[in-house]
């Protein structure tokens, strides 16, 4: 146990951090922004879309943690870390346990998972701990994000021509295909896809609730530790099943870091065999490298490495861009020349500007007044949605705000056009901010990530202490375009706000997000 003096110092440090948070961030330079597909030709996006869309045979999509992480499920290392901490004695010093877990993880996630597995008394206890580590909240509160939704959209169009294989334990892909009106079938063995169903093969096992919500589906062989990985190399599933897909189809790897030893082995052992083209989609947003020159060198060397496995790397700037890439493939496969993404984006931006930010000064002033009034009406709708929830969420005592942001994909900038609490007096007052995942503007982070994001900015210059940014997507004529974001704000701090994701009842945030996306999206449809 820490001494009283150490405990006192810790308390003083915690108070100092809290005080600094209340003061807010100092002004900092914003990174340069880029729009979706800003360098599509140089990043191999253009060629990949064309080749995948034109492929006449079957396509296999290998899906990884990117689909789970956009729904806020933990990545592999975080999952193993939770298991390690959960296996420690409840009387152990927290700081020592944390340092121990971090040290064990330095040996690699496979070895660390083996340590965790060994510390639990039996297999059943370990699997229950694994479920608890995976689902911090009620499993029903984790809903498919943009990438899972577009994978399901593509499956809806291709049917049996697209096979979905995942290393994730969760059922987000099953939920996504169900939302598209398909009947999901979840497999943990080498079964054939049944007629009229959308199969998802879980290569590393699954942790999915049964339809009744009262039990769990059969887990299959969970692959997490070094021992389970070794055992998986000799079993028909997934070993033989994956080899067959690599030999007989075009393969796309999405949402994967490509560090999984099974994937490396599968690709290495099949590198010299005939098969369809192979593409892996990497995301620059995941990189911690800030130096552009170093990033270019890393991408060049990665291309050389993956060429040895007959794999072509494709580089997207943002996680949200990957979902759009999948959509563009589907549009091209539907028969012919789909409208160019950049042209669609310009049209949607012009539609929104005509209603919300017209160039004529008198029309602009009128649009500001009408837009602010309209947003205040939508706030009343949000309060009504929350009041009708079960259990009800009472927002009557909370001061709320709404704002509409637009994207200019050509310049890589976002603009706050309309707010419920103020009206700009002239168009020049609308400031352009960079679209970048490391922007201080929550709207930019949500657009880049492709999913709703909530933060407490803790900026002394702003009264808003809860900001939830929801990407606005329009799909007229089934042609998807990210056009901006809508931000729902409150002066109540995030930790106390009843609509924060860790407090809201299941389904409420999804209902609010869908409502605001549909309402704001009408301005951009034209």
Q: Return the closest-CA partner of residue 274 out of 246, 306, 303.
A: 246
**Pairwise CA distance, residues 10 & 163, whole Å:** 53
The reply to whether omega before 238 is within 30° of 0 (cis) is yes
Full pLDDT tens readout for the chain, 526 residues: 456 565 566 665 665 555 555 444 455 567 788 999 998 988 999 999 999 999 999 999 999 999 999 998 998 899 999 999 999 888 888 899 999 999 999 999 999 999 999 999 999 999 999 999 999 887 877 889 999 999 999 999 999 999 999 999 999 999 999 999 999 999 999 999 999 999 999 999 999 988 777 789 999 999 999 999 888 888 889 989 999 999 999 999 999 989 888 888 888 888 777 778 999 999 998 887 878 899 899 999 999 999 988 999 999 999 999 999 999 999 998 765 456 899 999 999 999 999 999 999 999 999 999 999 999 999 999 999 999 999 999 999 999 999 999 999 999 999 999 999 988 989 989 989 999 988 889 999 999 999 999 999 887 668 999 999 999 999 988 899 999 999 999 999 999 999 998 899 888 999 999 999 999 999 999 7
CATH topology classification for 45-72+143-333: Rossmann fold (3.40.50)
Q: Where in the chain is the domain with CATH 3.30.450.40?
A: 341-525
Listed in order, strand segments (DSSP E) in 4-149 are: 59-63
**Pairwise CA distance, residues 415 & 431, whole Å:** 6
Its pTM stands at: 0.90
Contacts of 285 (CB under 8 A, 6+ apart): 316, 317, 318, 319, 437, 448, 449
pLDDT at 262: 86
The residues facing 252 across adjacent strands are 61, 279
Listed in order, strand segments (DSSP E) in 39-139 are: 59-63
105 with 116: CB under 8 angstroms? Answer: no
Listed in order, strand segments (DSSP E) in 22-123 are: 59-63
What is the sign, positive or negative, of the torsion defined by CA atoms of 145, 147, 151, 153? Answer: positive
**Pairwise CA distance, residues 118 & 133, whole Å:** 16
Q: Which two tokens stand for residue 26?
A: 């100092």
276 with 251: CB under 8 angstroms? Answer: yes
**331-362 in b/e burial notation, b at 16+ Cβ within 10 A?**
bbbeeeebeebeebbebbbebbbebbbeeeee
pLDDT at 23: 47
Q: Where in the chain is the domain with CATH 3.40.50.1220?
A: 45-72+143-333
Do the strands 466-474 and 453-455 form a parallel or antiparallel pair, or are they unpaired?
antiparallel
402 with 352: CB under 8 angstroms? Answer: no
Class of 341-525 in CATH: alpha beta
pLDDT at 289: 80
């Amino acid at each position: 146990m820490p001494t009283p003096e150490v405990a006192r110092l810790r308390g003083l440090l915690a108070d100092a951090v809290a005080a600094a948070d209340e003061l807010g961030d100092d002004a900092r330079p914003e990174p340069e922004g880029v729009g979706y597909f800003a360098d599509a030709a140089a990043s191999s996006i253009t060629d990949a879309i064309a080749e995948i869309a034109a492929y006449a045979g079957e396509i296999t999509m290998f899906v990884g943690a990117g689909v789970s992480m956009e729904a806020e499920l933990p990545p592999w290392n975080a999952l193993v870390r939770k298991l390690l901490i959960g296996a420690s004695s409840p009387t152990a010093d927290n700081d020592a346990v944390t340092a121990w877990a971090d040290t064990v993880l330095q040996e690699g996630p496979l070895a660390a998972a083996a340590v965790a597995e060994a510390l639990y008394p039996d297999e059943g206890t370990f699997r229950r701990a694994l479920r608890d580590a995976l689902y911090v909240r009620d499993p029903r509160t984790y809903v498919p994000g943009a990438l899972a939704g577009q994978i399901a959209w593509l499956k809806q169009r291709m049917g049996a021509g697209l096979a979905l294989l995942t290393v994730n334990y969760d059922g987000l892909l099953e939920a996504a295909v169900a939302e598209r009106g398909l009947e999901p079938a979840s497999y943990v063995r080498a079964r054939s896809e049944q007629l009229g169903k959308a199969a998802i093969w879980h290569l590393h096992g699954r942790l999915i609730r049964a339809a009744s919500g009262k039990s769990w589906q059969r887990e299959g062989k969970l692959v997490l530790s070094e021992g389970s990985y070794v055992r998986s190399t000799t079993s028909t599933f997934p070993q033989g099943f994956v080899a067959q897909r690599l030999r007989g189809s075009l393969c796309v790897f999405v949402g994967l870091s490509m560090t999984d030893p099974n994937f490396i082995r599968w690709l290495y052992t099949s590198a010299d065999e005939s098969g369809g083209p192979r593409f892996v989609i990497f995301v620059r947003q995941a990189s911690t490298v800030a130096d552009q020159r170093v990033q270019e060198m890393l991408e060049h060397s990665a291309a050389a490495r993956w060429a040895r496995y007959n794999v072509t790397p494709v580089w997207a700037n943002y996680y949200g861009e990957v979902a759009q890439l999948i959509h563009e493939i589907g549009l091209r496969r539907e028969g012919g020349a789909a409208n160019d993404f950049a042209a669609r984006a310009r049209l949607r931006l012009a539609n929104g500007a005509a209603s919300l930010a017209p160039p004529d000064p008198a029309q602009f002033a009128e649009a500001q007044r009408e837009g602010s009034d309209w947003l205040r009406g939508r706030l009343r709708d949000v309060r009504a949605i929350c009041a009708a929830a079960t259990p009800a969420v009472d927002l009557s005592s909370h001061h709320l705000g709404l704002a509409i942001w637009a994207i200019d994909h050509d310049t890589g900038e976002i603009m706050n056009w309309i707010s419920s609490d103020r009206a700009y007096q002239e168009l020049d007052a609308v400031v352009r901010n960079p679209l970048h995942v490391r922007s201080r503007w929550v709207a930019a982070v949500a657009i880049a990530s492709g999913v709703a994001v909530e933060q407490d900015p803790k900026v002394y210059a702003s009264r808003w202490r809860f900001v939830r940014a929801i990407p606005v997507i329009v799909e007229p004529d089934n042609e998807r375009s990210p056009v901006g974001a809508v931000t729902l704000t409150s002066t109540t701090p995030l930790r106390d706000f009843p609509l924060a994701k860790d407090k809201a009842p299941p389904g409420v945030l999804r209902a609010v997000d869908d409502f605001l996306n549909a309402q704001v999206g009408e301005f951009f449809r034209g």
